Structure 1
Amino acid sequence: MTLSMEFAAMPPAPGERPSHQQLLVMPDDGAEAVVALIDGAAETLRLKQFKLQSPTIEQALRRAHQRGVEVRVMLNPHTSGGDRWNDEAYAQLQEWGIQVAWTSEAFPVTHEKSLVVDRSCALISTFNLSDKYFTQTRDYGIVSHAPAVVEQVIAGFEADWNRSFFHPDLGVGLVWSSVHSRGQMARIIDMASQTLWIQHPKFVDAVILERIISARERGVKVRLLCGGKHGISDWDIYDTFSSLRVMERFGVKVRRQKHLKLHAKLLLVDGAFAQTGSMNIDRSAFDLRRELGIESDAPEVVARLRSTFEADWAAAKKYHAPDPLDPSLHEAGELPPDPHFVHD
């Protein structure tokens, strides 16, 4: 497998930072891990978010602003269903004198979840900055210190802030929508030679479905952790349940996440390479929305992702998706419906 310079880090010398990347796992690390990043800002903070509903995070942004950090925040104005989750946070930040704007109108939804601290590190996550995602959901975030990655996340922020075009270099290890994220995800799946572990809630794209089945046909052992129906819209149930049933017929081992709500988006290839980020396996996520993901082969990151997946897999039970055309079967074993937990 050929890796970009972002992934070619040598083992650190004694006393040096242990990795060019660090992994955050939710709910294990909690809001405190994000607050620590914000509290470490000395000059600038750039935050782009699908949902901001955490007083703890908002107060950290306020503290940064009060100590002279230039804080700029972009919030998604509404979900695809029309919910305006961010109006309260937007008004609060404005009241404190923090620069805040709605995300670019070039995208019907901005689902990206990123934070850049000074020009030193960038957090790319699957979790929203909302208390629910710090306490109830399985989610991941990768903090990258690689200059090329940090500068590209900054460039993406500035382009959306200024409503200008953005043409990212796809070779630095970031995965952008709507640029070529479907192709980048397909490439990662195509690299698998031994194992492919998938932790995703939603399966609404025929190209990725075919790639996963092709991996299975060439002998790759595929494990898939899904979330069942929970958080899946009535519209997306048809594709998601059908895709899970088709993959199971081809020998993909499917289990349903237990105890935690599944919000993570993770691919683990051969236990050595990972891709995570905001995009669901969904046509709209690939083709219409602003999304951001990141790739990693940092040993510490991959090892923790692997151990977290293994623990979740061990706690989960085999899942056979019900017939999507029979709603009477859809609720078996499901978590109670939550209108504020939807895979947009």
Structure 2
Amino acid sequence: MVAASSGQQRLLVMPDDGGAAVVELIDQAREELLLKQFKLQSEQIEQALFRARERGVRVRVMLNPHTSGGDRWNDEAFALLQSHGIEVVWTSECFPVTHEKSIVIDGHAALIATFNLSEKYFTETRDYGVISHDPLVIEQVRAGFEADWHRSFFEPRLDVGLVWSNAHSRGQMARVIDAARKTLWIQHPKFVDAVILERIVAARERGVKVRVLCGGKHGLSDWDVYDTFSSLRVMELFGVKIRRQKQLKLHAKLILVDGKAAMTGSMNIDRSAFDVRRELGIEIDCPAVIQRMAATFEADWDAAKKYSAPDPLDPTYHEHGELAPDPHFVHN
């Protein structure tokens, strides 16, 4: 499947497009490359960064130092980049976790993604990335990078279609859901926020046909199981159709409204993602991008089966039908 492209927005779908699509983007850099990433564990991406520096590009990288559980996945990549003369720092201490996944290429492209730069996310997970060529979007992603690089205050604009945490992402997501009149398709692994849950239920109550593709228990922390299972059960009570992603691990964060607009990005439907972490998402209205998102969602929906979340307080059926546990696949 060829990545959708139209004007100022282009869509990447993982694992369909794979890491080669990101390498292709990095290889376009001629002057400056800015990369902010939650997890970097990909030799092909690292080699692309080395090539960029060798051809005279100023490459600056910010890596998240540790997960919410304390795992230090980026220490090896940090040392490797340093050894090749690349400017690399840890992300801002203002946030307990920086979950943002972004790349800025010169002044002509910005990638806002749900996927980490890791081979697992290029081959095993459903994920999305939007490449924007809108100058206002590029300038804002770059401004956010510079603020976090220099540990300075950043107040993002609200009128360029970007969704920043911990600034105003909950309100923007709620507004997107509130706009639904016919259909609301949601592909998210976590449901840990009462405000967004109420908005989804309200959409169903006003007659919107709501579909939710979830990931079941796979990748959820023990404490997130309670909220996510309970939220899924509440949605089902109100007539929301729910299926569990089956063929691929679900890491995507996607909301599709009426087949005309969408929101994707790094933030889960999660209080901490809205309130305390650095996250970045984007709103989409490009018809070709929306069309491919919808086609991907429908294919995943057709491959999935109806899912009724088990009682969160009774672990008897929590593992029923679940993918094998993966300690390196955890929804932060």
On whether the aligned pair clears a TM of 0.5, the verdict is yes
CA contact (8 A) 1:178 1:288 kept: yes
Per-residue CA deviations over 1:145-175 (Å, capped at 9, x if unaligned) read 0000000000000000000000010110000
Distance in 2, Cα, partners of 1:308 & 1:240: 23
Q: 2:145 aligns with which of 153, 157, 168?
A: 157
> What corresponds to 1:5 in structure 2?
none
Secondary structure of 1:323's aligned partner: coil
> What corresponds to 2:136 in structure 1?
148
> What corresponds to 1:28 in structure 2?
16
> What corresponds to 1:77 in structure 2?
65
Distance in 2, Cα, partners of 1:237 & 1:80: 16
Secondary structure of 2:6's aligned partner: coil
Secondary structure of 2:197's aligned partner: helix
> What corresponds to 2:263 in structure 1?
275
CA contact (8 A) 1:19 1:300 kept: no
Say whether residues 1:64 and 2:57 are aligned partners. Answer: no
CA contact (8 A) 1:124 1:294 kept: yes
Per-residue CA deviations over 1:9-50 (Å, capped at 9, x if unaligned) read xxxxxxxx8321000000000000000000010000000000
Distance in 2, Cα, partners of 1:216 & 1:157: 38
> What corresponds to 1:98 in structure 2?
86
CA contact (8 A) 2:64 2:99 kept: yes
Q: 1:137 aligns with which of 107, 120, 125?
A: 125
> What corresponds to 1:114 in structure 2?
102
In structure 1, stretches of 5+ residues that fail to align are 1-16
Distance in 1, Cα, partners of 2:135 & 2:7: 13
* CA displacement at 1:299 relative to structure 2: 0.6
Secondary structure of 1:168's aligned partner: coil
Secondary structure of 2:295's aligned partner: helix
Distance in 2, Cα, partners of 1:108 & 1:170: 24
Distance in 2, Cα, partners of 1:258 & 1:292: 27
CA contact (8 A) 1:254 1:319 kept: yes
> What corresponds to 1:172 in structure 2?
160
> What corresponds to 1:12 in structure 2?
none
Q: 2:234 aligns with which of 233, 246, 269?
A: 246
How is 1:289-304 mapped onto 2 (pairs within 5 angstroms)? Answer: 289-304=277-292
* CA displacement at 1:107 relative to structure 2: 0.1
CA contact (8 A) 1:45 1:115 kept: yes
Distance in 2, Cα, partners of 1:62 & 1:18: 30
Q: Given residue 15 of structure 2, which amino acid in structure 1 is its aligned partner? A: P
Q: Given residue 199 of structure 1, which amino acid in structure 2 is its aligned partner? A: Q
Say whether residues 1:330 and 2:318 are aligned partners. Answer: yes
Distance in 1, Cα, partners of 2:228 & 2:26: 37
Say whether residues 1:198 and 2:186 are aligned partners. Answer: yes
> What corresponds to 2:300 in structure 1?
312
Secondary structure of 1:231's aligned partner: coil
Distance in 2, Cα, partners of 1:161 & 1:113: 15
Per-residue CA deviations over 1:187-214 (Å, capped at 9, x if unaligned) read 0000000000000000000000000000
Distance in 2, Cα, partners of 1:216 & 1:190: 10
Per-residue CA deviations over 1:237-265 (Å, capped at 9, x if unaligned) read 00000000000000000000011000000
Distance in 2, Cα, partners of 1:182 & 1:24: 24
Say whether residues 1:43 and 2:31 are aligned partners. Answer: yes
* CA displacement at 1:223 relative to structure 2: 0.3
Runs (4+) of structure 1 moved beyond 2 Å? none
Say whether residues 1:218 and 2:206 are aligned partners. Answer: yes
CA contact (8 A) 2:137 2:160 kept: yes
* CA displacement at 1:327 relative to structure 2: 1.1
> What corresponds to 1:7 in structure 2?
none
In structure 2, stretches of 5+ residues that fail to align are none
* CA displacement at 1:144 relative to structure 2: 0.2
Distance in 2, Cα, partners of 1:98 & 1:203: 38
Q: Given residue 218 of structure 1, which amino acid in structure 2 is its aligned partner? A: R
The number of equivalent residue pairs is 328
Distance in 1, Cα, partners of 2:279 & 2:162: 10
> What corresponds to 2:176 in structure 1?
188
Secondary structure of 1:97's aligned partner: coil
Alpha-carbon RMSD across the aligned residues, in angstroms, is 0.6
Identity %: 77
Say whether residues 1:255 and 2:255 are aligned partners. Answer: no
Q: Given residue 319 of structure 1, which amino acid in structure 2 is its aligned partner? A: Y
